[in-house]
Every structure is written in C-alpha cells, then in structure tokens.
Structure 1
Amino acid sequence: MAVAKTARVVGTDRLGPDTLLLDLCAAEPVGFVGGQYLILDSRIVLPSGKAVKRAYSFLTGDAEQRNFQLAVKRIPDGPGSAFVHGLTAGTDISFSGPWGKFVPREGASGRTLILATDTGITAALGFLRATRFAPLLPQALLIWLRASAEYFLPDEFVQQQVPAACGEVRIAAIPAVGHHDRIPQARAILREVLVRGDIAQVFIAGDGAVNQVLSDDAMAAGVAVGKEQVESFFNMPKKSV
C-alpha cells in the first residue's frame, strides 16, 4: 500500500489561461529521480465512490528533494485539475510516490533523444534535469511537439527549464490530438533525426497513440526502446493479455 506523504504549497503562478505552476515543499525528502511522477490525492470522492487522484511529473531536477514544482493543465470538467487550480499558498496536499521507471539509466552513454508530445514535456524536463543524466547532456537532443505556441507551457518557459549544457532543443507544431496528420508528422520528425544514425537511446513521453508508433519506428531503425523508456500520459496503449 502506498504511503501518504504531504507537501505545502509555497507559491503558484499562472502560465497562460489553463496552466498552473505549483511550488511545493515536502515535509520530508521525496526520493525521486528526474522523470518520475507523484500521484496527488485531491481527497475528493466521486458519487461512484472512486477517489480522485491524478499523476503529475516532477518538473524540477532531483538534486533538491524537498522543494519541487508541478505544472498542471486544467482539463474541462476535470475534478482533479480543478482541485489543483484552486490551491493557494499555505495549503497542504497529500500525495504518494515517487512512481515510474521513465528515468535515465545508470551508466548509459551516447547521443540521447528525448521526444515529448503535449504535456509529456514535464516528464522530459524532469528527465533532462536528473542528476544522473548530467554527463549525457552535451549529446542530448530534446524535441517537444505540441499543437501551438499557446499550448500548456510557453516556449520561453520550457527553454528556460532546459539545462544550459543540453546539446540541442527543438520545439515544433504538429496537428492536435486525434487529427489524421498528427502521427505522420511526428513520424517524419523522428525519421529526420534517426536517419543520421547517431542516436544511441530514445525516450518518449506524452500521447500514447504517438508513443507506440514512434517507439516502433525507433526499433525498426535499430534503436532499442524498452517499456521503461516510454511514458504515456493519455491515449494509453492497451495492455497485452
């Protein structure tokens, strides 16, 4: 059973009309690795009896284990994100974690591609800022694909969160979720990178429908992509029986 932990909201900042940046201070060191996430318990119980709990990636690096940030996009009619967007400084939250295996590998080497779609950029930024990933930063390429410059996090904010030592950052627009050209355009962007033949490892986060296709393409190009290298935020792939 997951052990409940607590953190206090020490500040909030609006990043556009539908995104809230939370500054939190945990009661004790969290013990997370960049790329992982927590599960926030809103303490709301739906009429069905289901508790409203939501997963949010640690946006900040893991060198600091008590003070961290979360970026939360408000989802229309979403009770979880509505709860978060109502939080103010001085409020305590309850959460469990850290969770997830989307973390840099110990002792890995070579050029690394971190490709994020949509809200998957939070996991990608946490991953890049992981202490253990620091030696690989000069050879890292971060690609963030989103529908528009107004989506979720401002481009300038994302650029500011990327460590200065990161080799390359690309931010590009692709069609919105569900559009028939979305996956073909994402594949074309990945193909352009893989054709160089110098990518040693790939990590993919965001839209599960896109993730599945891109991970298949990477493997077809000779780059191994294990389950722990893919983090789906929505459009979850069906679990094999």
Structure 2
Amino acid sequence: MAVAKTARVVETERLGPDTLLLDLCAAEPLGFIGGQYLILDSRIVLPNGKAVKRAYSLLTGDAEQCRFQLAVKRIPDGLGSAFVHGLAAGTDVSFSGPWGKFFPREDVSGRTLILATDTGITAALGLLRATRFAPLLPQARLMWLRDSAEYFLPDEFVKNQVPVACGEVRIEAIPAVGHPERVPYASAMLCEVLSRGDLTQAFIAGDGVVNLALLDDLVAAGVAVSKEQVESFFNMPKKSA
C-alpha cells in the first residue's frame, strides 16, 4: 500500500486560461528521478466509494528533492483538475510516489529522441532535467507536438525549462486529438528524425494512440525502446483480448 506524503503549496501561477503551475514544498525529500510522477489525492470520494486521485509528472529537476513544480491542465468536468485549480498558497496536499520508470538507464549513451504530444511535455521536461540525463543532453532532441501555440504551456515557457545543453528543441503543430490525420502526421515527423540515422534510444509521452503507433515505428527501425520508455497520459488504446 502506498504511503501518503504531504507537501505545501508555496505559490501558484496561471499559464493561460486552463493551466495552473504549482510550486510546492514537500515535508521530506521525494527521492525521485526526473521523468517520474506523483499521484495527488483530492480527498474527494465518489458515491461508489472510489477516491479521486490523479497522476502528474514532476517538471522539476531532481537535484532539488523537496521543492518541486507541477503543471495541471483544467479538464472540463474533471474533478481532479478542478481540485488542483482550486488550491491556494499555504494549502497542504496529500500524494503518493514517486512512480514510474520514464528515465534512462545509467549505462546508455548516444543520440536520444524525446517526443511528447500534448500534456506529455511535462514528463519530457522532467526527463530532460534529470541528473542522470545530463550526459545525454548534447545529443538529445526534444520534439513537442500540440495542436496550437495556445495549448497547455506557452512555447517560451517550455523552451526556458529545457537545459541549455540540449542539442535541439522543436515545437510543431499537429492535428487535434481524434483527428484522422493525427497519427500519420506524428509518424511522418518521426520518420524524418529516423532518416538522419544513429538514433540510439527514444522516449515518448502523451497521447496513447499516437504513442502506440510511434512505438511500433521505433521498434521496426531498430531503435532501443521499451514500454517503460512510453508514458501515455490519456487516450489509452484498449488491450486486445
């Protein structure tokens, strides 16, 4: 059973109409690796007895283990995101974690692609800012695909979060979630990267349907990638029987 931990909201900042940036301070060191996530407990219990808990990736580099940031997009009718957007400085929140294995092995080197769609950019930024990712930065390429410049996090904010040593940052528009051309577009973008050759490993995060297609493309191209290097935030494909 996960042990509940607490953190205090130090500050909040609105980043556009539907995104809240939270600066929090934990009661004790988190012990996390950049790329991992926490599960916040809203303390809301549904009529069926199920607690409303939501996972959010850590934006912060793991050199600091007590102070950290989360970026949360307001979801229409979403109880979890509504709870987060109602938090104010001085409020204590309960969470569990860190969770996840979205980080590189310590014995891997070479050219690395981090491809994020939509809100998956938070996991991508946490990964890039991980202490163990530092040696990979000069040969790393970050690609963020979202449907517009107004989506979730401002482009300039994202660029400012990327370590200066990162080899390349590319932000592109992509058809909206559910659009029939979304997956082909993302696959074409990946194909362009693969055409350069010498890609050692890849990490992908965001839209589950896009992730599944890109994972197949990467495996077919012989790139070292496993399910642990994939974080699906939403739109998870149903498992076949």
TM-score (ref. length: structure 1): 0.98
Q: Structure 1 counterpart of 2:144, which letter?
A: W
Structure 1 position 110 matched with structure 2 position 110 = yes
How far does residue 180 in structure 1 lie from its aligned partner after superposition? Answer: 0.4
Q: Residue by residue, what CA displacement relative to the aligned partner does 1:3-33 show, whole Å, maximum 9, x if unpaired?
A: 0000000000000000000000000000010
Partner of 2:163: 163
Partner of 1:210: 210
**In 2, distance between residues paired with 1:24 and 1:237?**
33
Partner of 1:44: 44
Q: Structure 1 counterpart of 2:203, which letter?
A: F
Partner of 1:221: 221
Partner of 1:26: 26
Q: Residue by residue, what CA displacement relative to the aligned partner does 1:61-103 show, whole Å, maximum 9, x if unpaired?
A: 0000000000000000000000000000000000000000111
Query: For the Cα contact (< 8 Å) 1:104–1:130, is it kept in 2?
Result: no
Partner of 1:15: 15
How far does residue 239 in structure 1 lie from its aligned partner after superposition? Answer: 4.0
Q: Aligned-residue CA RMSD in angstroms?
A: 0.8
Q: Residue by residue, what CA displacement relative to the aligned partner does 1:138-184 show, whole Å, maximum 9, x if unpaired?
A: 00000000000000000000000000000000000000000001001
Q: 4+ residue stretches of structure 1 with deviation over 4 A?
A: none
Q: Structure 1 counterpart of 2:19, which letter?
A: T
Map 1:137-216 → 2, pairs under 5 A: 137-216=137-216
Alignment: residue pair count: 241
Percent identity, aligned pairs only, is 83
Q: Structure 2 counterpart of 1:220, which letter?
A: A
**In 2, distance between residues paired with 1:109 and 1:224?**
11
> Which 5+ residue runs of structure 2 have no aligned equivalent?
none
Q: Residue by residue, what CA displacement relative to the aligned partner does 1:165-210 show, whole Å, maximum 9, x if unpaired?
A: 0000000000000000100100000000001111100100000000
Structure 1 position 88 matched with structure 2 position 82 = no
**In 1, distance between residues paired with 2:236 and 2:49?**
23
TM-score (ref. length: structure 2): 0.98
How far does residue 240 in structure 1 lie from its aligned partner after superposition? Answer: 6.0
